Amino acid sequence: MDRGILVTGGAHGIGKQICIDFIQAGDKVCFIDIDEKKSIDFAKEYPNLFYFHGNVAHQLTLKRFVEFAMEKLQRIDVLVNNACRGNKGILSSLSYEEFDYTLSIGLKAPYELSRLCKDELIKNKGRIINIASTRAFQSEPDSEAYASTKGGIVALTHALAISLGPDVLVNCIAPGWINVNEQQEFSREDCAAIPAGKVGTPKDISDMVLFLCQQDFITGETITVDGGMSKRMIYHGDWNWFYKF
């Protein structure tokens, strides 16, 4: 389709599949990633795939990434804010600095990239797709940094949708458990815990990204793609579910 696509964290997992699917749709893709080795190998595979090395936690890096992308793509139609990393929380006494660093990667970078790409996205009637997690809505113990970052990106999504509409539609995807390490088999118990009967794949998420980029009546939404895992009501003793203390 000849669109200019920006993806963060494109060297591996969900971000890599998103890059591949846009390339295969005929678009040009520029991605940023901190993992230089994986990124260089990946970028070699496609002529319309461009790699910028950097850490999205650094503001100046984001500015340089967008300048580089404009040079390579000449236009920006879609921004996919995918990069993030897990982090712990209060039970581990996660430091103020570590908490802030997680926010820098998963929340401040999506805001700053949206700001830097705003004029291009408005001009091209573009799209922003943010990647959250079901951790935005439910928690395990000791997960404050990651949960807050993901909750933040859900709110950032509807705020941006209201500010940038109708020119730019902004949506978010909340993945559940996605097999990003090409694990071949999962136990019957792991599959049974997910109402859809399987662990998700990066393709399950990238299909939703591409769908959200081709529709024009959804904005400000967060769409959960988790095989129904977060929809299960659990009471102790039901369906062989037992709490262990």
One-letter identity of residue 54: G
Please tell me the distance from the alpha carbon of residue 6 to that of residue 127, in angstroms, as a whole number.
11
Shortest Å, Cβ 236 to ligand NAD: 26
Q: Is 101 a catalytic residue?
A: no
Nearer to ligand NAD, 124 or 151 (CB): 151
DSSP letter, residue 184: -
Sheet holding 4-8, edge to edge: 49-53, 28-33, 4-8, 78-81, 127-131, 169-175, 222-225
Nearer to ligand NAD, 164 or 173 (CB): 173
What tokens appear for 105 in the block?
């990667």
Q: Enumerate binding residues for ligand NAD (CB under 6 A).
A: 9, 11-15, 32-35, 55-57, 82-85, 105, 131, 133, 175, 177-178, 180
- Neighbouring C-alpha atoms within 13 Å toward the C-beta of 71: 9
Nearer to ligand NAD, 75 or 203 (CB): 203
46, 51, 111, 146: the active-site residue: 146
Nearer to ligand NAD, 124 or 191 (CB): 191
186: part of which helix (H) or strand (E)? none
Classify residue 108 as left (phi > 0), alpha (psi -120 to 50) or beta: alpha
Q: Which residues are catalytic?
A: 146
